[in-house]
Structure 1
Amino acid sequence: MRLLTLRDDDQLSLDEFPGDDIPTYTILSHTRGTDHKEVTFKDIIKGRGKDKAGYSKILFYGRQAAKDGLQYFWVDTCCIDKSSSAELQDATNSMFRWFQDAAKCYVYLSDVAVSSSIGRDLSSQRTWKPVFLRSRWFTRVWTLQELIAPKSVEFFSAEGELLGDKNSLFSVNETMSWAERRETKRKEDAVYSLLGLFDIHMPLIYGEGRKKAFIMLQKEINQTLKAECE
């Protein structure tokens, strides 16, 4: 697993931790912009990317982790070499566990602007929660496991204002609706994003379609249940 650190000069660096020898870390959940706006693994390796829109998001994240007394943090766009299909597959199968093991998960809501749209009165959820619940973050399939897996999930506005955590912000009915109307760029990801929820590891075959991917997932689930009953 690779983890980021933020130096005093706001430069990002990557450290790799093999096996289970992983320090305490925080993890970022966010909605990704277009590829040219997000800071990538190659950007970090080559010491570039400060001119990208996504860099400010990572700076906020690193600074917030430091405020919480944590040095290391994980961001999917930076910590996975997505040019390697083998690494991407391993990361997808490990994602739920990585979020589950994180000390904290920070959710950055780039489309919830507290200052411009609803004021800074955070004492009353009635003023900003409707905007919060309409965030694009709630429509993406990958963010479902990122909401469920971590013990601590904190939500921040575009300005970095802490809005609350998942225990204080959601009712039971809202919790039940988390899986509805979620979208993904690749059809198969609607299935692959569920692997961690069912504790399943399986190969990723992009191009086979959502239906075939679901059939494979169902097969893996049935085999796991059968093995548990023997």
Structure 2
Amino acid sequence: KVRSFCSLAAEQGYGWAWLDTCCIDKASRAELSEAINSMYAWYKAADVCYVYLFDLDDGDHPFDKDSQFRASEWHSRAWTLQELLAPTDVVFLAKSWALIGRLAVLAPVLAEICGRDRTILRGYSAWKRKQQTSVAQRMSCAARRKTKRQEDRALLVMGIFGVSIPNVYGEGLERACLWLYVAGGDEPLRRSDYLRVGPD
């Protein structure tokens, strides 16, 4: 995976590439905390984000109702939400590294999958202009995602709100959401909206 990713980046003319599975030292608490707080900004600053879907075969048609793309595990994982919302360009690849499509084209089907209006996904203008999307709208995208640790439900939306919160592992979901609520800055704050990030 690492070799294929680096080869693809080099073919596209990039001299530098960052891969989340190997570029974070999770044994270092300080580095992990920095990565969690910075990841959204890193994705946002990237020229392109390559999304490798290990569970997609070549020739899959994402717009088909029974497509492998719609059923991909990627859509339910928590930390992939940033990969979807932060970058200016997202390229989806099958397990053979064949091109599946770009976000600009796949926005309608992605909106169906994550349950959001396609305008939120296409062009990111609604996400960048926070006043056009409520706290509850943005939280609802995170609420459906699966996490290994309950606090991740709060941590994964920090970048969406443009805030940072401490490493809250071990404090539980509600307390992590309260950290997010307190850090909300100029957002129209309602505690119930922030707790919406929890499971239904």
TM-score range, shorter chain: 0.7 to 0.9
Q: 1:225 aligns with which of 169, 176, 186?
A: 186
* More strand as a share of residues: 1
Do 2:93 and 2:99's aligned partners in 1 also have CA atoms closer than 8 Å?
yes
Q: 2:30 aligns with which of 86, 106, 109?
A: 86
Q: Which secondary structure state, in structure 2, belongs to the residue aligned with residue 99 of structure 1?
A: helix
> Greater CA deviation, 59-68 or 76-85?
76-85
The amino acid of 1:140's aligned partner reads: R
Structure-1 residue corresponding to 2:126: none
Q: Distance in 2 between matches of 1:193 and 1:125?
A: 26
Q: Distance in 1 between matches of 2:45 and 2:64?
A: 33
Q: Distance in 1 between matches of 2:113 and 2:15?
A: 31
The amino acid of 1:70's aligned partner reads: Y
TM-score when scaled to structure 2?
0.74
Do 2:62 and 2:70's aligned partners in 1 also have CA atoms closer than 8 Å?
no
Cα deviation per residue 1:101-144 (whole Å; 9 max; x = unaligned)? 01110000001122xxxxx3x6x655697210110000011111
Q: Which secondary structure state, in structure 1, belongs to the residue aligned with residue 26 of structure 2?
A: coil
TM-score when scaled to structure 1?
0.65
Cα deviation per residue 1:49-100 (whole Å; 9 max; x = unaligned)? xxxxxxxx11111111011011211012221221111111111110000000
Cα deviation per residue 1:155-214 (whole Å; 9 max; x = unaligned)? 000011100011101218427626252101011001100011001111112111111100
Q: Distance in 2 between matches of 1:128 and 1:163?
A: 16
Q: Distance in 2 between matches of 1:129 and 1:69?
A: 35
**For 1:164-183, what aligned pairs fall within 5 Å after superposition?**
164-171=101-108, 173-174=111-112, 177=115, 179=141, 181-183=144-146
Change (3 A) 1:125 1:194: closer
**1:106 correspondence with 2:69:** no
Structure-2 residue corresponding to 1:39: none
Aligned length: 161
**For 1:156-167, what aligned pairs fall within 5 Å after superposition?**
156-167=93-104
Q: Which secondary structure state, in structure 1, belongs to the residue aligned with residue 17 of structure 2?
A: strand
Q: Percent identity?
A: 39
* More helix as a share of residues: 2
Q: 1:209 aligns with which of 153, 159, 172?
A: 172
Q: Distance in 1 between matches of 2:62 and 2:174?
A: 40
Gaps of 5+ in 1: 1-56, 115-119
Q: Which secondary structure state, in structure 1, belongs to the residue aligned with residue 6 of structure 2?
A: helix
Q: Distance in 2 between matches of 1:142 and 1:151?
A: 17
Q: Distance in 2 between matches of 1:129 and 1:73?
A: 33
